[in-house]
Amino acid sequence: MHTDRTLTLLTALALLTLALPLDATAEETATVTLVVEVPEGVFTNTYKGYESFTWTDTVGYTDGLTALDLLDQVATARGSTYTAVWYDIDGDGQEDDAFIDEIDGVASDFTLLLFGYYWALYDNGAYASTGAAGLVVDAGDTVTLRYEGWPASV
Ligand SMILES: [Ca+2]
């Protein structure tokens, strides 16, 4: 009964295939996504020779994960560089939060601290009130680092 055995095997494979997406869906809930974007048309792109690009990377969520941890994972996986600058915000001699100064060679650029370009940080589309080290993400969150002009009208 070779045919019966083949059918049984095919049925088992079909059931296994049906079961797999359920497991994959369960694991997908424990991820976070990082979007890193240098939009087209940013003045400095052409001025500095920067090219626009967008990364969209999803990695596993772990307790206490910060936006800086997330960028570190993604940049390491991509073989890309980034620079985080730490600041002592409350003046107690200990660094409190880190802001992203450069990603993949695209660096913040200010003239007399009045106007320029920087890496803006968004948490689920909302402008973050902290730096990258201060932003603790939740499972399912999307963190965005977008290279933007400051003020926005520049
Ligand atoms: Ca401090």
Burial of 122 (0-12, 13-18, 19+ CB in 10 A): middle
Domain span at residue 50 reads 29-150
pLDDT digits (tens, 9 = 90+) for 107-137: 998 876 678 889 999 999 999 999 999 999 9
Using one digit for the tens of pLDDT, what is the confidence trace for 50-81? 788 999 999 999 999 999 999 999 999 999 99
Tell me whether residue 114 is in a domain. Answer: yes
Span from the CA of 3 to the centroid of ligand 1 (angstroms): 73
**Which stretch of 7-11, 47-51, 73-77, 93-97 has the lowest confidence by average pLDDT?**
7-11
Q: Is residue 11 part of a domain?
A: no
Within a domain: residue 46? yes
Return residues with CB closer than 5 A to ligand 1 (ion). Answer: 88, 90, 92, 94, 96
Whether residue 144 lies inside any domain: the answer is yes
Concatenate the DSSP letters of all residues of 9-69 into one string.
Answer: HHHHHHHHHHHHHHHHHHHHTTEEEEEEEE-TT-HHHHHHT---EEEEEEEE--TT-BHHH
pLDDT of residue 40: 81
Residue 8 belongs to a domain: no
**Residue 22 lies inside a defined structural domain of this protein:** no
Residue 2, domain member (yes or no): no
Q: What CATH number did the domain enclosing 52 receive?
A: 2.170.130.30
- Cα(85) to ligand 1 centroid in Å equals 14
What letter represents residue 28's amino acid? E
In a domain, 113, yes or no: yes
The confidence score (pLDDT) of residue 151 equals 78
Q: How many domains in the chain?
A: 1
